[in-house]
Amino acid sequence: MHNDLHALRRILKTCHTLAVVGLSAEWHRPSYFAAKYMQSHGFRVVPVNPRYAGGQILGETCYASLGDIPFAVDMVDVFRRAEDVLPIAQQAVHIGARCLWQQLGVVNAEADALVRQAGLDSVLNRCVKIEHARLFGGLNWVGVNTGIVSARRLT
């Protein structure tokens, strides 16, 4: 699996356009929070959710499916149940994405095997926001408890 630190760092450095499948327009949902974080760190977030298709989330047009996006995306970030991931993985391969990222709690081994066989990077059961913050700083950015309470930075 491509969950090692070097692969995660490479993926997050090279994948700048993220199609977030299952992105909610509700600010308190984990998908919204993670997408907003990634957007604030220079990533283009492309919402994919049929419930909001044609509308906007985080200032970006929302699409009903990956196939509806009229430009290339680097990563397909999945906020759906594991049993829903295989058709998303097939679409990710079809549109030429470079990575399928299954969020925390999402593990579909069949989808993982499919995309890796097609030459895509694959990440399972990881949060893109937490991994970005862990690898590039900012782990204390709202929403992750670092367990440290201090007014001073550690040196």
Q: What is the pLDDT along the chain (155 residues), one digit of tens a residue?
A: 456 889 999 999 999 999 999 999 999 999 999 999 999 999 999 999 999 999 999 999 999 999 999 999 999 999 999 999 999 999 999 999 999 999 999 999 999 999 999 999 999 999 999 999 989 886 554 554 444 454 555 55
* CB-CB contact of 7 with 121 (8 Å): yes
Nearest residue to 126 (alpha-carbon basis) of 134, 137, 118: 134
Q: Is residue 73 within 8 Å of residue 65, measured between CB atoms?
A: no
Domains assigned to the chain: 5-136 (3.40.50.720)
pTM of the model: 0.87
Q: Chain-centre distance of CA 11, in angstroms?
A: 11
